[in-house]
Amino acid sequence: MGTVTRGTTNPNRLRRMDRWIAATHGTELRRAADPVAVDLGYGAAPWTAVELLARLRENAPRTRVVGVEIEPARVAAAKPYEREGLVFRHGGFEIPLPQRPLLIRAANVLRQYEEAEVAAVWERLCARLAPADPARGSRGGLLVEGTCDEIGRRHVWVALGPEGPRTVTFATRLGSLDRPSDLAERLPKALIHRNVPGEPVHSFLRDFDRAWAAAAPYASYGARQRWIRTVRDLTTDWPVTDVPSRWRQGEVTVAWGALAPGGVAAG
């Protein structure tokens, strides 16, 4: 279910997303009886699926990855790369697996769809995630859906659980950044058309740029120190959900509810 789109991909392009998933969701994957992760729409070559397997297995060695592509020729091209723990399947948003996976990663897939299609696709994919199991301390599966540039220097993604959207993460190579709103061009489909005055994501990026400007004196200690100071300032007005050890990586994660379209914009 879905539409064939351009297959552009690159080795190592999704490293920031892979590392974040490993850090955020590694415990769920490690504890699960059958930790299956889907790389949905891996593109013309299967690099991102191969890398996802390697990065998730560092902390959760029993993880298996299924690459799912809607373009049959791309599935045929990926088959020679199958190995223990990695298979490729033809399919789309229906997720052609017998089980409900613990992770669905869809990178640079929805950007080529219409904004109006996003909510239904999210709902469909969230319904396919492994359910929460409070008795075992599990929040269930995770859908990570977002966008990045060709070589993965700038990335924005939304993370959703079986219950719906949870967070938005901005991740960047700090040395390449003029100002945080440089990331606006990589907003996921649900937000990119909402970066206009009156919308929360626009207010957030405006505040992010202001905090970055105010933190300019920290630039003499390096872009990392400036970013950490900037994010610390942002926590005053915005529900930042992650911790300084993630900020050090050039990341910040914010509660979805604060950036969701049509919400009440801050200040």
Q: Which residues bind ligand SAM (CB under 6 A)?
A: 2-9, 13-14, 40-43, 48, 68-71, 74, 92-93, 107-109
**Based on CB atoms, which residue is closest to ligand SAM, 155 or 194?**
155
User: Who contacts 237 (Cβ-Cβ below 8 Å, separation ≥6)?
Assistant: 207, 266, 267
Beta carbons of 163 and 252 less than 8 angstroms apart: no
Q: How far is the CB of 21 from ligand SAM (least distance, A)?
A: 13
**Based on CB atoms, which residue is closest to ligand SAM, 91 or 263?**
91
Q: How far is the CB of 145 from ligand SAM (least distance, A)?
A: 11
Q: How far is the CB of 103 from ligand SAM (least distance, A)?
A: 14
Q: Which residue is nearest to ligand SAM (CB)?
A: 2
Rounded to the nearest 5 degrees, what angle is found at the Cα of 246, between the Cα atoms of 194 and 220? 90
**Based on CB atoms, which residue is closest to ligand SAM, 19 or 210?**
19
Residue type present at position 11: P
Q: How far is the CB of 86 from ligand SAM (least distance, A)?
A: 15
Cα–Cα distance between 106 and 147 in angstroms, integer? 9
Q: How far is the CB of 96 from ligand SAM (least distance, A)?
A: 10
List alpha helices for the chain, DSSP H. Answer: 15-31, 47-57, 72-78, 115-128, 189-192, 200-214, 223-234, 244-247, 256-259
**Based on CB atoms, which residue is closest to ligand SAM, 43 or 101?**
43
Buried-exposed string 172-196: b where 16+ CB fall within 10 A, e elsewhere: bebeebeebbebbebbbbbbbebbe
Q: How far is the CB of 202 from ligand SAM (least distance, A)?
A: 26
**Based on CB atoms, which residue is closest to ligand SAM, 32 or 168?**
168
Both tokens of residue 20? 């974040």
**Based on CB atoms, which residue is closest to ligand SAM, 41 or 180?**
41
**Based on CB atoms, which residue is closest to ligand SAM, 47 or 256?**
47
The sign of the CA dihedral 53, 56, 57, 60 is: negative
The sign of the CA dihedral 105, 129, 193, 22 is: negative
Q: How far is the CB of 225 from ligand SAM (least distance, A)?
A: 30
Only one residue has tokens 């869809």, namely 106
